[in-house]
Amino acid sequence: MMVAAAAGLVCNGTDPCYNHALNLCCPGDKTQHDGHGRPFCDIQLTGTCQNQTTCYDITSICVCGGDRPCRSASGACLPWSNGCTKLNAAMQFCPSGPMPTPVATTSTVAPPSSDNFFATNSFDSVANAATTITIIACLTLVCIVAMVLFCVCRRKPVAEPPILRSVAETSDREEALLPPVACPRHGSSYAPTHTTSTVASLQSQGSSQDSALSSSREFDLCELEMYRIQSFEISIVKALAQGAHGEVCMGMYQGIAVAVKKMLPKSLSHDEVQKFVLEIKLMAKLNSPYIVRFIGASWLRPSDIMLVTEFMDMGDLRNFLQLTSDETVSWQQKLQLALNIVHGLVYLHSLDHKIIHRDLKSRNVLLNTKLNAKLTDFGISREMDDMTMTAGIGTYRWMAPEVLQDGHYAESADMFSFGVILSELSTHRLPYSDYVNGSGRPYTDTAIMARVMMGDFQPTFADDCPEWFKAFGNHCMAFQPDDRPRAAQAAYILQTELRKIEASAKL
């Protein structure tokens, strides 16, 4: 049974899951309860859990217990299995060891008889007195040792501040682990190099800036220790891409292809390193099939830190659209790509601490050979503590008018960027590339930004594009942020239309 939910109404215990797209309260999946009787709310099907006391969903933390202590990738609790201990301990979803197996016993303990009662109590008194004396003696000894050490330390001359070593001054032990080989330079060809190099080579390419960025404590890397990968375990195959502050290489780790992202030497300022560390910490928290999977991080010093993620072998959506056309990509495939992207936004916007991507564009949507799309590049993403956010910008062609005007960020800004991507799926062109001025020349970047801020320009759709898709895309790019659909509503619309296409294809 589904119950209509008025705005602001919390769903009851019978139908605890709130479906944003349908504005309905839905029953949870009791077969996937959390071990304590609370049903599971599937964000993509039944909606989010409004009250954690009556249900749970993928955003709930440390909920699994009882006879279902494990956690699946979908967020649902599962019965115990030998394979889930290691995985879920790292995710903080499960106990670190196997569940205790109760052992049945019929033996009983007889009460002490009157004959030995006084003897037993007398013995216990002596034992307790001896234990107390032992504890006091140990504490006294510890205090004496501590005082001696304190006096010795005070008598030592004050040491000079430690000199932070550059890479050239790395110890022999570190050098043994870090052979000096280089990450291949970027060029016109992305073909693999003849010899692979360990990722340590990237970390050993230091500069004078490294000495000022060598303290792990300053950047608080403790919470990343459980994900730390030794540099010699990763080998670099080829360069993939380079941005303003970082570069991405394809690498190999434990026999599988991975993507390795590091900062450029010119960007090794304290603030830029701090931003990159925050990006890695944020990636470590995310777990969704629509977000590029976080594998780990590798570093010797904070300035060397690298982000290791799954490798998406089809590259980004922008390149894919440039190399294809309407004849080679069906509308069913386009809708599936759009649905993958918006599912990623549903996940980010539904977390307890909502996350706004803030740089959603076709370059930050990666594809694999199965044509599954996943979101990446959370360098300027932030967890929302307030209703809106400011500062930090993405690429202007995908920015909402309010962001260009005053840097005002909310979930609706991500939805505008999503609408721009929908126009790209329709035309395969770069947004606004078809706009020309009176002289027949393309508008400058400044002119485009000014027109978008005024609401005069909006990315266009192909003439043969389905009318519903064009209307849906324009809805996502509404000038007023409040007029745009939420991610869950957009996902429902796309899912409905995709099912229509799939059903007609079977006829």
C-alpha distance from residue 423 to each of 429, 432, 497 (Å): 8, 10, 17
Residues 6 or more apart in contact with residue 468 via CB below 8 angstroms: 497
Residues 6 or more apart in contact with residue 251 via CB below 8 angstroms: 199, 234, 235, 236, 237, 257, 258, 259, 260, 308
Distance between CA atoms of 363 and 377, rounded to whole angstroms?
A: 9
Give the DSSP H or E segment for 421: helix 411-427
Under 8 Å between Cβ of 478 and 401: no
- Catalytic entry in 15, 42, 359, 414: 359
Under 8 Å between Cβ of 290 and 368: no
Backbone torsions φ then ψ of 318, nearest 5 degrees? -60, -50
Q: Which two tokens stand for residue 52?
A: 């954690």
350 pairs with which residues across the strands?
Answer: none
Distance between CA atoms of 498 and 22, rounded to whole angstroms?
A: 17
Q: Is 359 a catalytic residue?
A: yes
**Which residue bears the tokens 């899912």?**
495
**Which residue bears the tokens 């007195």?**
129
Q: Which phi-psi region, left, alpha or beta, contains residue 356 (left: φ > 0; alpha: ψ -120 to 50)?
A: beta
The DSSP bridge pattern shows strands 48-49 and 24-26 to be unpaired
Query: Measuring CA to CA, which residue among 33, 92, 106 is closest to residue 62?
Result: 92
Residues 6 or more apart in contact with residue 216 via CB below 8 angstroms: 299, 301, 302
**Residues marked as catalytic:** 359
